[in-house]
């Protein structure tokens, strides 16, 4: 059975009462009339979610009870496979709701998510802590050697049994009740954390009415800020804490006080005040420790890492420590270079709000390259089509606009994805622009994963990629920074992992892999952005249609590793902060800001500003799936640096290599341990030094 990570359960008593009234005229409960059975977003309204979930949860309870009450001897089919299909409607509805909540939320939807959490937790705990059910699973597990299962079925059995163990099935009855309560409270705290982080981001704007304050900003920055002001019925220009708005201001503004204001607003989000996450962090950390202890683990990290590639906290801590020690001297030298450049025009120590401006100026001086110069060549539509074309070159995929399939918001475009033989592979939803109802950042998700239904019918996936790129204005289309080009490639790599999945069980397909392996398909895609052979195919000026000059391509490649040490150290710092929170054995006495800044002392290469911290809005680890797992980004970078070398050696569009990557990794999901899948592709284990070599972080 696939227990959706965000699920946490439901009261059967409430469900029965709701059934008769709620099954009628609810598009979430009716069979979809949309092509491929895609979600009926044209009909779904916020008020449909709660009654649909109540009905679906009742059905899920009946599924579970049918397995428990089955008097036949437990078998792989009547227990393990049956569990796999428990709550299909529930999983489908929750996938839709939680994904919409992230990308287009409202107060009512946030309240529904909070209201249903206790009952969802009860259902998950009822399922995972039911001793009768576990004994059936255990009985099948103990006869595994005599079942003659194929690889995929054997993996499902293994993951089902170990999943029960990891989720407390061996606990005594009183401890199971305590574990269930912890999970309920943890789910609510994470929801509150996420809500506060979004509200804090939306609560701040920097409103400028004096044109002199923005005179030196590039036209594309001023135009976007003017559009933002107009949307808010304000005069002048508005800058927000969304990255497409904030980042250009920090890079190009000479107004140091305004930059400090914006940087401080961003760096103190949810630290205190109405949307403070201080108590939510303490609650989450405390509950994770208690849950781990109940299961026999000293820390949350010990519990979480057991089924990852890294296997244990010592491996992760050594990985972060060694990479930090190697990276620190390079990062320190890079900061010193930017500081020296700043001192040519301004005395004093460089502060965090100075860095973006002076590092960008230095980059432009060293390489004569910047976002203002490059953005005209990266029109979003062109980049999107080029990403699709790359998927065609590598994997034979075709992307056909599908206006007949509705999206969840007017900004969403929908595509019918097929392979070279015309086989339908997936439905892809793209959602590119920021809005107040969408959380920040970029991500890939799915409304339905690849699987086969009970009756043997294949159900191809519904994949979504969500960004926060600069919106088109009245005078120009959406133009991407080069960083945003790599971001789109990154998330599209995740999408390929989902779209190219092959297999029977959704819980073993696509991105349902070890957290420190899941970033390999995404991060490897970023490499193509630096390949001249690829850039030449699509980078054309949005006004003249002229191809990007070879000189610019050369500069992109030359500047690839600019500030590589600094950037890597920042990522390692986030990983160290994550591990510091999740290797605790008790909640620290100090507040989150003090705790985090004590950790940062080992990596800080610029002043640590009092009252600032990332933890209060570090959603990856407090409201997402990366707790004790943020190191995964760097871990996977080692894998992708090593793997992409195979493309470099054989041709970046080499179909034999891409076919092998598809067959060994993208299509396999979690059918085997990640280290085996990687060796099947590369023919050996990854070489740890590959990342440092790729980034030029080697002693000369």
Q: Tell me the CB-side half-sphere exposure of residue 597, using CA atoms within 13 A.
A: 14
The closest alpha carbon to 63, from 162, 147, 133, belongs to 133
Exactly one of 185, 491, 573, 640 is catalytic; which is it?
Answer: 491
Q: Tell me the CB-side half-sphere exposure of residue 130, using CA atoms within 13 A.
A: 17
Phi/psi region, residue 287 (left: phi>0; alpha: psi -120 to 50; beta: rest), is alpha
CA distance linking residue 419 with residue 501, whole number of Å: 13
CA distance linking residue 214 with residue 224, whole number of Å: 12
Where do the H-state alpha helices sit in 295-344? Answer: 300-305, 313-342
Asked if 491 is an active-site residue, the reply is yes
Look at residue 516 and give its three-state secondary structure. Answer: coil
Distances (CA, A) of 261 to 38, 213, 352, 354, 578: 45, 13, 12, 12, 27
CA distance linking residue 431 with residue 443, whole number of Å: 10
DSSP letters for 539-558: -B-TTT-PBPPHHHHHHHHH
Written as six digits, the tokens of 417 are 């994805």
Q: What are the backbone angles phi and psi of residue 561, rounded to the nearest 5°?
A: -100, 15
Kind and range of the H or E element at 430? strand 424-431
How do strand 398-401 and strand 443-448 relate by DSSP bridges?
Answer: unpaired
Q: What are the backbone angles phi and psi of residue 169, rounded to the nearest 5°?
A: -65, -25
CA distance linking residue 494 with residue 137, whole number of Å: 32
**Sign of the CA dihedral with 582 first, then 583, 586, and 588 last:** negative
Look at residue 245 and give its three-state secondary structure. Answer: helix
DSSP tag of 658: H
3-state secondary structure 551-610: HHHHHHHHCCCCCHHHHHHHHHHHHHHHHHHHCCCCCCCCCHHHHHHHHHCCCCCCCCCC
Which sequence positions are flagged as catalytic? 491
């Amino acid at each position: 059975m696939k227990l959706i990570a965000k699920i946490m359960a439901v009261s059967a008593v409430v469900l029965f009462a709701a059934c008769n009234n709620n099954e009628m005229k609810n598009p979430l409960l009716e069979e979809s009339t949309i092509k491929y059975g895609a979600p009926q977003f044209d009909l779904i309204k916020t008020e449909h979610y709660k009654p649909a979930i109540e009905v679906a949860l009742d059905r899920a309870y009946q599924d579970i009870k049918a397995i428990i009450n089955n008097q036949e001897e437990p078998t792989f089919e009547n227990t393990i496979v049956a569990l796999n299909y428990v709550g299909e409607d529930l999983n489908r509805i929750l996938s839709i709701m939680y994904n919409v909540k992230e990308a287009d939320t409202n107060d009512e939807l946030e309240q529904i998510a909070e209201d249903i959490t206790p009952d969802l937790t009860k259902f998950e705990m009822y399922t995972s802590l039911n001793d009768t059910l576990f004994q059936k699973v255990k009985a099948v597990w103990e006869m595994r050697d005599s079942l003659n299962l194929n690889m995929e079925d054997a993996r499902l059995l293994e993951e089902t049994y170990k999943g029960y163990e990891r989720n407390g099935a061996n606990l005594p009855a009183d401890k199971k009740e305590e574990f269930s309560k912890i999970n309920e409270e943890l789910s609510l705290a994470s929801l509150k954390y996420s809500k506060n982080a979004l509200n804090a981001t939306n609560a701040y704007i920097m409103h400028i009415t004096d044109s002199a304050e923005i005179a030196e900003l590039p036209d594309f920055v001023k135009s976007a800020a003017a559009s933002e002001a107009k949307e808010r019925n304000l005069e002048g220009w508005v800058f927000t804490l969304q990255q497409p708005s904030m980042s250009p201001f920090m890079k190009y503004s000479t107004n140091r006080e305004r930059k400090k204001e914006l940087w401080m607003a961003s760096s103190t989000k949810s630290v205190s005040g109405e949307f403070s996450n201080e108590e939510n962090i303490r609650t989450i950390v405390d509950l994770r420790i208690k849950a781990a202890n109940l299961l026999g683990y000293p820390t949350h990290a010990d519990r979480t890492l057991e089924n990852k590639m890294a296997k244990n906290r010592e491996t992760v801590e050594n990985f972060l420590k060694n990479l930090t020690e190697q990276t620190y001297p390079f990062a320190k030298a890079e900061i010193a270079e930017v500081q020296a450049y700043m001192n040519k025009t301004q005395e004093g120590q460089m502060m965090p709000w100075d860095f973006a401006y002076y590092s960008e100026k230095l980059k432009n001086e060293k390489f004569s390259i910047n976002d203002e110069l490059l953005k005209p060549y990266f029109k979003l539509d062109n980049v999107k089509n080029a990403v699709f074309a790359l998927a065609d070159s590598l994997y034979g995929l075709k992307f056909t606009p599908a206006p007949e399939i509705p999206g969840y918001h007017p900004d969403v475009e929908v595509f019918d994805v097929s392979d070279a033989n015309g086989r339908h592979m997936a439905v892809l939803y793209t959602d590119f622009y920021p809005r107040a109802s969408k959380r920040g950042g970029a991500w890939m998700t799915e409304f339905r994963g690849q699987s086969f239904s009970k009756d043997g019918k294949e159900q191809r996936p519904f994949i979504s990629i969500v960004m926060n790129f600069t919106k088109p204005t009245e005078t120009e289309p959406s133009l991407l920074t080069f960083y945003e080009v790599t971001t789109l490639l990154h998330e599209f790599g995740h999408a390929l992992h989902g779209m190219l999945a092959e297999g029977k069980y959704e819980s073993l397909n696509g991105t349902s892999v070890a957290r420190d392996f899941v970033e390999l398909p995404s991060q490897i895609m970023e490499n193509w952005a630096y390949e001249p052979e690829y850039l030449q195919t699509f980078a054309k000026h949005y006004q003249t249609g002229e191809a990007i000059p070879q000189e610019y391509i050369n500069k992109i490649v030359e500047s690839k590793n600019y500030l590589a040490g600094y950037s890597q150290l920042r990522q390692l710092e986030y990983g160290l902060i994550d591990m510091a929170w999740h290797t605790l054995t008790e909640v620290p006495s100090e507040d989150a800001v003090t705790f985090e800044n004590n950790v940062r002392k080992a990596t800080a290469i610029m002043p640590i500003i009092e009252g600032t911290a990332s933890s209060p809005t570090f959603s990856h680890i407090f409201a997402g799936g990366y707790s004790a797992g943020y190191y995964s980004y760097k871990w996977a970078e080692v894998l992708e640096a090593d793997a992409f070398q195979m493309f470099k050696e054989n041709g970046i569009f080499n179909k034999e290599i891409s076919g092998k990557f598809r067959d060994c990794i993208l299509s396999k999901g979690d059918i085997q341990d990640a280290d085996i899948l990687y060796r099947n592709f590369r023919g050996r284990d990854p070489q740890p030094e590959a990342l440092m070599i790729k980034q030029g972080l080697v002693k000369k």
